[in-house]
């Protein structure tokens, strides 16, 4: 029997969508964004970009920020490309400032901020640095 090598890009779009829907959106975008135009087109679909959770949840339901290298890539490359698709964003308080300034989220209508203290919330949302111009809705 001959051994054949089937690559991810050899699979039809429908099968890729089925596989990708089983994966974590943050990991999917981080792993495949920029690999090639076809995969970019598939993973930039609103199904994968409308609702983003940019934090980690441990086995005992404690939230943590994502690794700095992952957050860096999201802020510099991924979020600027998909910002118009993002409708809901969950972020951890230690990374939220970087995420907020990475792009203008014109279609954002929901925001979940985890582990935020009152002082930080007042500073961010009452000050001039982060105001309603970042979020239209």
Q: Domain spans of the chain? A: 10-134
Taking 70 as the threshold, does the pLDDT of residue 128 lie above it? no
Q: List pLDDT tens digits, range 30-65.
A: 999 999 999 999 999 999 999 999 999 998 989 999
Residue 133 is predicted with a pLDDT of 52
Taking 80 as the threshold, does the pLDDT of residue 2 lie above it? no
Q: List pLDDT tens digits, range 64-75.
A: 999 999 999 999
Reported for 113-118, long-range contacts at CB under 8 A and 24+ positions apart, including other chains, are 114/55, 114/63, 114/90, 115/63, 117/93
Residue 7 is predicted with a pLDDT of 81
Q: How far is CA 97 from the centre of its chain?
A: 14
pTM: 0.82
Taking 50 as the threshold, does the pLDDT of residue 137 lie above it? no
Q: How confident is the model at residue 87 (pLDDT cuts 50, 70, 90)?
A: very high
């Amino acid at each position: 029997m001959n051994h054949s090598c089937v690559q991810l890009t050899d699979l039809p779009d429908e099968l890729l969508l089925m596989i990708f829907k089983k994966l974590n959106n943050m990991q999917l975008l981080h792993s495949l964004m920029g690999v090639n135009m076809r995969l970019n087109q598939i993973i930039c679909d609103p199904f994968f970009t409308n609702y983003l959770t940019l934090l980690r949840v441990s086995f005992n339901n404690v939230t943590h920020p994502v690794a700095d290298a992952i957050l860096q890539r999201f802020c510099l490359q991924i979020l600027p490309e998909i910002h118009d698709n993002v409708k809901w964003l969950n972020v951890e308080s230690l990374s939220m400032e970087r995420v907020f300034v990475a792009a203008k989220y014109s279609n954002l209508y929901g925001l979940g901020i985890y582990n935020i203290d009152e002082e930080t919330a007042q500073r961010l949302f009452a000050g001039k640095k982060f105001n309603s111009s970042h979020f239209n809705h």
